[in-house]
Structure 1
Amino acid sequence: MRLLPILTAILVSAFLFFLVFQRDNLVDFARETDAPPSEAETAAAPEPDNTTPSKPLVSVVALRSVAQPIENAVLLRGETEAAREVEVRSEVSGLIISEPLRKGSQVEKDQLLCEVEIGTRASDLEDAQGVLIRAQAAVPEANARLAEANARLAEAQINDNAAKRLSEGGFASDTRVASAAASVESALAAVEAAKAAASAATSGIKSAEARVAAAQREIDRLKINAPFAGMLETDTAELGTLMQPGALCGTVVLLNPIKLVGFVPETDVERIKVGAMAGARLASGREARGSVSFLSRTADVTTRTFRVEVIVPNEDLAIRDGQTVEIIVSAAGTEAHLVPASALTLDDDGELGVRTVDENKTVQFAPVSILRDEIGGVWLDGLPDEVSIITSGQEYVTDGVTVAVTYKEPS
């Protein structure tokens, strides 16, 4: 084995060790071994420059932006809903004797939908009318008896007064006086009885009239009419169907106008007002316009959202009940800045905002809120009317840093 290659490898390894791990000590050792400069070299050498070279500034691109008035809006998602929907049901029992109307048919207000056979209701009405006639005839007789009782009372009172005066002069006996007083009491009782009979006769008329009205109302209920003009959502009851109180005759819906129902979160509820204009787009692509007709005062206990209703015209009935719809409700306009979405950043606390530069080219962070986005960028609120917003390089600077700014005007 040759000794020279081994020694060479050991020396190279030692040199690399000192070069990598003991570099500082090796440099100091080399400096100590250097010869000191001569006096001429010292005199000719320039004075050392103790000034630290300036650090280069970070270059950024900023947009000079001026706030612009924009239309604000609230986006809701919901569904269409019929303006009115009623399940017309029977109030009586009996067989249907009318031909059915088919679903999809247009009906007018008070149009006949179902008719129930009359059965014995006609005879019940005639019987009630007969009772009423008899009750009405009993009233004159009761009044005559009352008049007769009043006349007898007047006669008895005259006889009683005469007997008392004759008794005072000694011309009438006590028996006559007592008999006259008894006649007065009997006449009073007869008057009260006559009054009761007259009152009973009057009550009999009222009872008979109520019975007639009930029988007539029962007959009127045999015809079931449409409560309003609309469209039949179901067939009406089939001919021969046995109806019971509460049985369904048919369902009528009103689709013109139609309601658009959405739910707004509590963060945006203050931006919506009743009467505000609204636009809508259905899943089919059809668009509609209307106004807010209702804004709930009570939040849904589960979602903490508020119900919003928009009324839109639907003359051709192309919009159906239950379709998915996007609703945009106009809100009060505001001043905002349109900037590229890439200009948005987050601060150390995770708050959304942009970085701006002032006249001294100093960077500041400004929190913002997004009003809406579009193809050209996002509209931001929360900034001054005029501001320079960093659109490139904002991720490499922090608050208070001076930067080299290149400005660009908005397109």
Structure 2
Amino acid sequence: MTGPERTRRVVTDQTESTSRRQLPSSYISAFVILAVVVLYFAIGTIFGGSEQTEAATETERPPFTVLVRNVSGEARAETLTFSGRTEAAQRVYVRAETPGRVARIVNDEGAEVSRGDVLCRLEADSRQATRAEAEAAFAKASADFDAAQTLHAEGFASDTALKQARAARDAAEAALSRASDDLRNISVTAPFDGLVAEMIAEPGDVLSVGAPCAVIANLSRMIMAGGVPARDAARISVGDKAHVRLIDEREFDAEVRFVSDVADPATRTFRVELLAEDASGIPEGIETRATVTAGTKASTLIPRNALVYSDEGVLGVRTVIPSGESRKDDEETLPLGTVRFMPVTIIGEAEGGAYVTGLDEAASLIVRGQDYVSDGITVTFAQEASE
């Protein structure tokens, strides 16, 4: 056997020996699968036991305890508050009833005047002469009519002549009345007792018929006027009682006298006027705050700290609906109940609280712990200690 042949024989023998010592591949796969299965069950046992322990702990955890206050609804006067300003109940432009040039101003701005007092006087011009002519014409027409009556009675004047004389006398009388009115109207007078709020005309101004001379305000009766939203305007009626506070802390009672049906195009609010009969001495333009009593409505007084917002941003409170069961701990036995969120609407203010609608006639209101519970969970509850 040559050298190369001997070498190949040795290598072949070693390879066959090594192949006989290696395990089959199927055995190796079986061992790998078995190891994976054992590892899976080991992990499941470890973590599954942990979850069961946590679930058991959660089940054994006692319910959260809240404090509640029993509240009930009652009929209460519904009030609406809005701001405004004072205005005179009567405020008019006093206008000229005849054309002419202003001769003088008799009462200046701020003057108190009575009905009939002269505010400004126009120049008479030819009015006195016109009236004198009208007086003379009326005197002549009256004399002619008297003569016609005498002649008609004696049979010397016809019925037609008598009628013509009467018509001439009546026309002369009407002309005299117009001339007298025209002369009298050169004095522009106050239509009622009040204050000269504004003097518009000046000496030398030429006024046409209907041109304003002055503004007169009756401050013995004041109104407070303001704008309210459509929702509030619909709840206010003429005759509703109100209370008004001025910016200088003065107060007076009033009554709704007007609610507009048309919104202001600029503010989209509706004008409301309150009339105060005993508010004399109050100037115009003072800022006010008015509270109107707009009927009665069932509402509930609650503490402000009981108000919460739902996840959707709705204002409300959380209450407890008793389940009739109880739970005993180391110290005491407390009733069980379910938390219920109830939306509410604030309709009035009170010291330390607010009047709301939306609650049941009687409710167990959560006043402590309401921020730590949610709708539908079970809690134990205790009554709030009375102060």
Determine if the TM-score, normalized by the shorter chain, exceeds 0.5: yes
Aligned to 1:320: 283
> Paired residue for 2:136, among 107, 130, 136?
130
Matches within 5 A, 1:216-227: 216-227=180-191
Counterpart secondary structure, 1:362? strand
- Tell me how far 1:26 sits from its aligned partner: 12
Counterpart-to-counterpart distance in 2, 1:315 and 1:374 = 28
Aligned to 1:344: 307
Matches within 5 A, 1:223-302: 223-235=187-199, 241-245=204-208, 246-301=210-265
Report whether the alignment pairs 1:359 with 2:322.
yes
Matches within 5 A, 1:81-96: 81-94=87-100, 96=102
Name the count of aligned residue pairs.
328
Deviations along 1:240-267, one digit per CA (max 9) or x if unpaired, are 5354224543322111121101223222
- CA 1:214–1:269: 2 relative to 1, 3 Å: same
Aligned to 1:76: 82
- CA 1:229–1:400: 2 relative to 1, 3 Å: same
- Counterpart AA for 1:334: K
Aligned to 2:107: 101
Aligned to 1:120: 126
- CA 1:269–1:97: 2 relative to 1, 3 Å: closer
Report whether the alignment pairs 1:209 with 2:164.
no
TM-score (norm 2): 0.72
> Paired residue for 1:28, among 39, 54, 57?
39
C-alpha RMSD of matched pairs (Å): 3.4
Counterpart secondary structure, 1:333? strand
Counterpart secondary structure, 2:297? strand
Contact 2:240-2:292 at 8 Å conserved across structures: yes
- CA 1:394–1:275: 2 relative to 1, 3 Å: same
Deviations along 1:69-111, one digit per CA (max 9) or x if unpaired, are 4433110111111111223233334455556323222111111
- CA 1:123–1:26: 2 relative to 1, 3 Å: same
Structure 2 gap segments, 5+ residues each: 1-35, 44-51, 324-336
Counterpart secondary structure, 1:133? helix
- Tell me how far 1:270 sits from its aligned partner: 4.1
Aligned to 1:401: 377
Deviations along 1:277-302, one digit per CA (max 9) or x if unpaired, are 21122233332222222223444455
- CA 1:29–1:262: 2 relative to 1, 3 Å: closer
Structure 1 gap segments, 5+ residues each: 1-24, 33-47, 152-190
Counterpart-to-counterpart distance in 1, 2:67 and 2:351 = 21
Counterpart-to-counterpart distance in 1, 2:104 and 2:267 = 47
Counterpart secondary structure, 2:322? coil
Contact 1:71-1:330 at 8 Å conserved across structures: yes
- Counterpart AA for 1:207: A
Contact 1:233-1:253 at 8 Å conserved across structures: yes
> Paired residue for 2:72, among 59, 66, 70?
66
Counterpart secondary structure, 1:234? strand
Contact 1:101-1:236 at 8 Å conserved across structures: no
Report whether the alignment pairs 1:307 with 2:271.
yes
Counterpart-to-counterpart distance in 2, 1:321 and 1:118 = 36
Counterpart secondary structure, 2:176? helix
- Tell me how far 1:148 sits from its aligned partner: 9.1
Counterpart-to-counterpart distance in 2, 1:301 and 1:283 = 27
Counterpart-to-counterpart distance in 1, 2:279 and 2:287 = 19
- Counterpart AA for 2:80: V
Deviations along 1:297-335, one digit per CA (max 9) or x if unpaired, are 444455443322112245651x22122211111232334
- Counterpart AA for 1:343: A
Report whether the alignment pairs 1:334 with 2:297.
yes
Contact 2:66-2:366 at 8 Å conserved across structures: yes
Higher mean C-alpha displacement, 366-375 vs 138-147: 138-147
Counterpart secondary structure, 2:132? helix
- Counterpart AA for 1:351: V
Counterpart secondary structure, 2:182? helix
- CA 1:410–1:387: 2 relative to 1, 3 Å: farther
- CA 1:124–1:362: 2 relative to 1, 3 Å: same
Counterpart-to-counterpart distance in 2, 1:397 and 1:356 = 10
- Tell me how far 1:146 sits from its aligned partner: 7.2
TM-score (norm 1): 0.69
Deviations along 1:148-202, one digit per CA (max 9) or x if unpaired, are 99x9xxxxxxxxxxxxxxxxxxxxxxxxxxxxxxxxxxxxxxx9xx555444333
Q: Which has the higher contact order (CA 8 A, sep 6+)?
A: 1
